[in-house]
């Protein structure tokens, strides 16, 4: 299992799954603040876009905001996660996030789902 986790493609698939699952859970919790027309396909495509943003754009955002991340002892990462969700919703309009605060809450839910999935996979 350890060799499988080190495979980059498999890791991206897991990241895609986590982003999609997190978006779905966040939409359920936040009600009308995140809408996706109750379509599984919209959630999967939005999860793919969010995973790609996290792979390409998020490291750049973290480096550019490193002073804020260090001063807040990492709490600024919540804002960065929300920003990536907000960007994904702007790039893929079938996923509608009403405002930046909803995106921040969705980013927190996705982070929690990511933590749980990672803990489960490392325990295998």
Task: Identify the pLDDT of residue 11.
Answer: 86
Q: How confident is the model at residue 10 (pLDDT cuts 50, 70, 90)?
A: confident
Question: What count of other Cβ atoms lies within 10 Å of the Cβ of residue 23?
Answer: 27
pLDDT above 90 covers what percent of the chain? 81
92 or 10, which is more confident? 92
Q: How many CB atoms within 10 Å of residue 58?
A: 18
Q: Is 40 helix (H, G, I), strand (E, B) or coil?
A: helix
Give pLDDT tens digits for 14-70: 899 999 999 999 999 998 999 999 999 999 999 999 999 999 999 999 999 999 999
Domains identified in the chain, total number: 1
Which among 3, 4, 48, 1 has a CA at the least distance from the CA of 23?
A: 48
Domain span at residue 73 reads 2-123
């Amino acid at each position: 299992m350890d060799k499988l986790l080190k495979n980059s493609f498999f890791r991206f698939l897991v990241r895609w799954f986590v982003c999609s699952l997190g978006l779905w859970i966040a939409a359920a919790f936040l009600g009308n603040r995140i809408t996706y027309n109750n379509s599984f396909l919209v959630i999967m495509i939005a999860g793919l876009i969010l995973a790609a943003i996290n792979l390409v754009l998020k490291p750049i955002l973290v480096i550019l905001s490193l002073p804020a991340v260090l001063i807040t002892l990492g709490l600024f990462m919540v804002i960065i996660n929300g920003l990536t969700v907000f960007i994904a919703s702007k790039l893929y309009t079938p996923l509608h996030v009403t405002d930046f605060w909803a995106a921040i809450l969705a980013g927190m839910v996705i982070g929690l789902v990511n933590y749980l999935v990672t803990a489960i996979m490392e325990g295998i």
